[in-house]
Amino acid sequence: MSNKSTAAATAFEQLKQKAAGTWNTLRDKPLIMVGAATCGRAAGAQDITKVIRDELASRQIEATVIEVGCMGHCYAEPLVLIQKPDNPTICYGYVSEGLASMLVREFIAGDDPCIEFALAAMEVNDFIPTFEDFPRGMVEKKVVMQHCGIIDPENIDHYIANGGYEALAKAIDKSGEEVVSEIKTSGLRGRGGAGFPTGVKWETCRQFKEDVKYVICNADEGDPGAFMDRTLLESNPHQVLEGLALAAHAVGASKGYLYIRAEYPLAVERIKKAINQAEESGLLGESILGTDFNLTLEIFQGSGAFVCGEETALIASMEGEPGIPRHRPPFPAEAGLWGKPTVINNVKTLSYIPHIIRKGADWFRETGTPDSPGTAVFALAGKVINTGLVEVPMGVTLSQLVYDVGSGIDGGKQFKAVQIGGPSGGCLPESFLETAIDFDSLNQAGAMMGSGGMVVMDEDDCMVEIARYFLDFTQNESCGKCTFCRLGTKQMLEILERITKGEGALEDIDTLLNLAKNVKTGSLCNLGKTAPNPVLSTLKHFRNEYEAHITEGRCPSLMCLNLIAYYILPDKCERSCDACIGSCPVESIFSNEDRIKVVDQEKCVKCKSCMDACPPQYSAVVKLSPPELVQEKENDNG
């Protein structure tokens, strides 16, 4: 045993030295890092990289340009980090092609760091604040996102130089049992949504004495507006691989899969490269680090069914069957892929593993709450000013996320609700802003942690429409196997559609509630069991909005098209301006004898073009609900 441990430790020491060499030489000359995860690329990061490379080449400047992952500040994308010897590393946001070439010209070639364009510095210094100095930085605590956006995801040395694979090297000399026990002590709960204790899952799988076992990374992220897993895979793929390797070692598996949805091509590509690099370095494959631990990893590309994130459906789809859940038990930890004991963990869950093994369970428990230790990664979207990914300790409040991290509501509007947990989660109103974010508090509040999608809604968002939207999603994604999910969600959707069209009846609310309760109790899998949550939570907190739709034919948020009309306020219309007329695609706006513009309600398709076109100094176009108000207004005006 001691000989073996020396062998693994020695082998890893060599890798570490090589990695440190690569990492340190990066500092010899200017280093430019462009955030080029999918979010960065969508904002034009690849063009920025090209501009920087061309500018450097034309000036014959020696500098290294690398594409890194995402730091989470998606609102400010494209992001560029510049590390120049004798300067702090500076992060620039909203980088345009012009700014990119200016940075090369002024900062790399010259010595002006253009601090007016800096978002923040990465290290404490005398002239630029760091991210930690902002309200967001005070809430944030990075564990799994610590190296996202500051290392090259396609270079294993960058990962190793920052402590990567140390946990594997350390654990490989220990028994699987010790690894399981460490994870159990850490209290880590599955970050895929349900929050099941990871250590318990592993222990169950470990106790089955089978020669063949499997570990699977569930990267079938599908919640609308959620992109945590994608970012982790793209920004730090080795972290996931190391977590998966540790899981395999812990339960005694020698074959693992990463179930990644095919809609994430960049993640697939980076994971593929990472697997190859890890195999070349002896960190995956046969006799890892010279020991008798073998692990081959393979990518399985899912074809887009949301329900395949459910573990039994995921297994079915890997076995070549339709992605349809089956009854549990048996749980996959007992009989999973091809009937063998299988551990399935979410990307985020696996990403925590190396950190826990390296720094210990006690370290992990220092963050978060006693029952939900650690941090949580959220994809903050919707009506907040600063959208993006954020990692915060469990137990912070919703208001900290919305106001400190998200910088509050865009456009000075009124906060209405936050939808947390994706289509399986719920909408929480203002009175829940001080709710702590952890698995149990959110469940109690009628929402759920989910995988980390968080959509903030303001006064312009109709809660009935939001419920309809999410139900439409789950209804579309229902596999159709069981009665309650297939037909129950369909019946609920029919009712919600009626209500948003103003055709609902008061008794529909009771029917809806009953259906929701029954679908929750009666469905076979968790997709069905959680599908009614958006309806139940909006009914609980915003019942008045449902009632306004039904009894008054009015949408209080002026969102439901059937219940609103566009109206031009005669006293605000500037008469000589024709902006609205020009913008209308169906020629529904005309000038009356006083040259005041009027909307022909028969023709209007409610596209909102006129409202957008009307110059802000007039703001003459308004929405009215119920639409009958137009007639009243017109009568008032004679």
Partner 1 sequence: MGKKINLTIDGKKIQAMEGDKILWAALENDIYIPHLCAMKEQQQSPFAGCRLCFIEIEGKPRPVAACTEPALEGMVVNTRSESIDRLVEAGFNLIMSNHHIDCKICAASGACELQKIAKERKIRLKPKKLVQLDRNLPKDHSKDCIIYDPNKCVLCGRCVTACRTEGTAVLGLAYRGFERMVTTFGDIPLGETDCSGCGSCANVCPAGALIETDN
Give residues in contact with partner 1 (CB under 8 A). 305, 322, 326-327, 475-484, 486-488, 490-491, 494, 507, 511, 514-515, 518, 521-524
Nearest distance, CB of residue 220 and partner 1, angstroms: 15
Closest CA to 187 of 398, 378, 446, 364: 364
- Give 609-614 contacts, CB < 8 A, sequence gap 24+: 609/580, 609/583, 609/584, 609/585, 610/566, 610/568, 610/579, 610/580, 610/583, 610/584, 611/566, 612/583, 613/579, 613/580, 613/582, 613/583, 614/568, 614/579, 614/580
Question: Which residue's CB is nearer to partner 1, number 511 or number 551?
Answer: 511
Torsion sign over Cα 532, 303, 246, 214: positive
- Six token digits for residue 229: 């897993």
Question: Which residue's CB is nearer to partner 1, number 296 or number 483?
Answer: 483
- Six token digits for residue 16: 């570490």
Question: Which residue's CB is nearer to partner 1, number 470 or number 484?
Answer: 484
Question: Which residue's CB is nearer to partner 1, number 15 or number 524?
Answer: 524
H helix intervals, 297-405: 311-318, 347-359, 361-365, 398-399
- Six token digits for residue 54: 């061309």
Q: How many CB atoms lie within 10 A of CB 594?
A: 9
- Six token digits for residue 251: 């339960």
161 touches 347 (CB < 8 A): no
Nearest distance, CB of residue 494 and partner 1, angstroms: 5
- Six token digits for residue 57: 């080449």
Question: Which residue's CB is nearer to partner 1, number 239 or number 424?
Answer: 424
CA torsion 286-233-183-335 (nearest 10°) is: -70
Nearest distance, CB of residue 333 and partner 1, angstroms: 17
Question: Which residue's CB is nearer to partner 1, number 97 or number 472?
Answer: 472
Nearest distance, CB of residue 482 and partner 1, angstroms: 5
H helix intervals, 295-450: 311-318, 347-359, 361-365, 398-399, 439-444
Half-sphere CA count of 401, side-chain side, radius 13 A: 36
Nearest distance, CB of residue 464 and partner 1, angstroms: 18
Question: Which residue's CB is nearer to partner 1, number 125 or number 514?
Answer: 514
Residues forming a β-bridge with 397? 436
Nearest distance, CB of residue 455 and partner 1, angstroms: 23
Question: Which residue's CB is nearer to partner 1, number 184 or number 490?
Answer: 490
Nearest distance, CB of residue 478 and partner 1, angstroms: 4
Distance CA 32, CA 54 (A): 13
Question: Which residue's CB is nearer to partner 1, number 18 or number 490?
Answer: 490
421 touches 450 (CB < 8 A): yes
429 touches 402 (CB < 8 A): no
Closest CA to 55 of 77, 73, 80, 36: 80
Cis peptide before 330 (omega within 30 of 0): yes
Question: Which residue's CB is nearer to partner 1, number 413 or number 481?
Answer: 481
Distance CA 181, CA 165 (A): 19
557 touches 460 (CB < 8 A): yes
Nearest distance, CB of residue 510 and partner 1, angstroms: 8
Question: Which residue's CB is nearer to partner 1, number 172 or number 305?
Answer: 305
Nearest distance, CB of residue 85 and partner 1, angstroms: 57
Question: Which residue's CB is nearer to partner 1, number 251 or number 524?
Answer: 524
Question: Which residue's CB is nearer to partner 1, number 50 or number 490?
Answer: 490
Question: Which residue's CB is nearer to partner 1, number 294 or number 491?
Answer: 491
Nearest distance, CB of residue 326 and partner 1, angstroms: 7
Question: Which residue's CB is nearer to partner 1, number 266 or number 513?
Answer: 513
Beta-carbon contacts of residue 600 (< 8 Å; ≥ 6 apart):
588, 589, 590
Element (H, E) at 629: helix 629-636
- Six token digits for residue 317: 């789809």
- If DSSP codes are grouped into helix, strand and coil, which group holds residue 222? coil
Look-up: residue for tokens 């229902």? 478
Nearest distance, CB of residue 513 and partner 1, angstroms: 12
Nearest distance, CB of residue 491 and partner 1, angstroms: 5
- Phi and psi of 532, rounded to 5°? -75, -10
Residues forming a β-bridge with 215? 256, 343
Nearest distance, CB of residue 263 and partner 1, angstroms: 17
Beta-carbon contacts of residue 185 (< 8 Å; ≥ 6 apart):
199, 361, 362
- Six token digits for residue 206: 């470990």
Nearest distance, CB of residue 543 and partner 1, angstroms: 19
Nearest distance, CB of residue 474 and partner 1, angstroms: 9
